[in-house]
Structure 1
Amino acid sequence: MLAPGRGIALDRFLIEQLFFQTGDVMDRPSKALVQARRRAEDIRKLALAHLLTPQAGYRPRAMVIELGELAEEHPELDKEPAFLQARILSTLARGGRARQAQKPLFRLFRAGIEAGQPETYQQFEQVLKYACPDPDQLEGLFFHRSFQDMDHDEIWSAVGDGIAKLQTLGFQAFLNSGTLLGVVRDGKLIPHDDDVDLALVFEADSQEEAAETWHKITVQLADQGLLSPKPPRNPAMRKLTTEGPCNIDLFPAWVQAGQLYVYPYCCGDLAADHVLPTEVCPITDLPIPRNAPDVLAQNYGDGWAVPDPSYAFPWAQANRRFKVFRDRLEQVTVR
């Protein structure tokens, strides 16, 4: 049974507005195929109900296995949107992440494109974000979509809303890394990128204190519903919760003895006045570093203004420089 109010309304929306019709997939489907579709539809509804309100009698592993058996018996099901949605919902209802359902996610996305209804997949994304309040579980939901496939106005609106919520809590943030590179170099988001980068500014007297402060901030943001309360694999990078179409990564940036630290690319290499006070980006009306070119040079090298498809960030070197910060953050983060 679905949760009162929220669950019932959402299920009706899914069935009537979002889900593709499946009855006309074949002119004369066999009786066995019709029964398989009906069973998959039942599983889809059960999985959604469990995501909205955990059901005591729900058997998550059994549902995933049963869908796999149905697909083996009727391979054509794995091309039908309703069945793909059942697979995705069942994976999430079992506690899995979106990345564990990459194939059905991509097939569902392609089905919407081929049917001339790309918005259907976007609506399904919104349903998943509604049913799964933990953004870490949805990591990978946008893996197959880049900015060239998204509405940039919608993205910037979501980013602006996220920054405004941070400001309401007394925090300052600015466009960072690849997002900053795109707006400064190209005047837009980098087409092949797929997430937005923000840095949140605070003060600390050492890397150890920075780790402790960052942890306290993330706990506060999680309590406000702006971050998942579940610690991620890398606690130095968190995902901001928004209603937008893409992931927003939040990184720590702190001022220490007048120098700037931004994990993972600036370890006191620039004076803090390269960022503060921030300026308003003429493209997005959102905050960017006061001296964006120097910040980008620190992040990407002196050739940042020329696109380099072979560029790879030196993570190993960066993590060595931030070892004290990372080690202390691991200690204070409760897993």
Structure 2
Amino acid sequence: MAVKGAVKEGKEMSEKYVTHPHAAPREVMAPDPELRPLLVALLTLNLLRGLAPSQAFSIETHNATVFEGDADVQFGYRVVQMRSNDSSWLVVSAPLAGNGTGALYRCSYHAETCQPIPLPDTPLVSLGLALASDEISGSRVIACGPRLQQRCEENVYLQGLCYVWGGWESPPRVLRPAGQECISGVDVAILYDDSLSIQPNDFTLMKQFIGKLLRALAGPRVQIAVVQFSSYINHVFTFADYVAKGLEAVEQDLMAFPHLKGNTHTPSAILFTVKQTFTPEHGARSHINSSCSRPGASCSPKLRRRSGVQAGSELPRLRTAPGSGRHVPADPGREGVSTRCPE
């Protein structure tokens, strides 16, 4: 009877305090006052014991493996894990090693030592400033340095260099940038009219002016050639002559060149300059800008003006600067001169 009474009493208590899923909403009852001292005692006991200290579940703090390196070269700047030959390795970067070249180390958990990873001939790129591994398999590692320098005269362009490893058995794959095209310097060809229309005094003044122009243009990245044109077209000196002889010698060649007179064939002179002056045989450089300047402007029965313009368009970096004394237009941005030639 005692067991039945206890079951009946428990059933009544469950019906009183337990809310059934399909039962109608009812008012939540407060805990039994008799249980209140027990709850207060449990809460006090927990406060007296203090909060339990939190512990990291994935970091070993008591038996940790420590890999030491030179702090001055930033050993440990980047760290990744890699698997190779069924072994786990720790790859550590030191981007300031080798005076800024950068270095990488593979560290063994079992041997508790680090060995430098052999690298190809590497410039000063601070290799290891960027380091990553394959997140899925962990079998590949890529290390990069962002300080690969490309110099173009006084300008320096910074680019990146990367190495990719798929294991330690073979050398890494090298990823290099394509590089920017370096265009520096200028080749200048000066054409002057040597025809009969040029008076002797004007001819002397023109050559003196060209001599001053040579000295004004002289520079370490400038090459100059001078072409004379009338009925016949000749090189006074070529780009190769300018480099081999020097400024003073070619200026003497200019002043000693005779006045051949004849007719004016300007388009033919432009065609001659494009086809024969701006050539590697005469010292022209294909990777730099080209400029063509011609004192004087006249019409030519030999070739029409359009032929000379079309010839000039064959050089993608050719710039022309015509001049004809008082006929030079006041607007420096205007192309051509006041003399009109047939198209």
Q: Tell whether the structures are fold-level matches, with TM greater than 0.5.
A: no
- Higher RCO structure, 1 or 2 (CA under 8 Å, sep 6+): 1
TM-score normalised per structure 1 = 0.24
TM-score normalised per structure 2 = 0.24
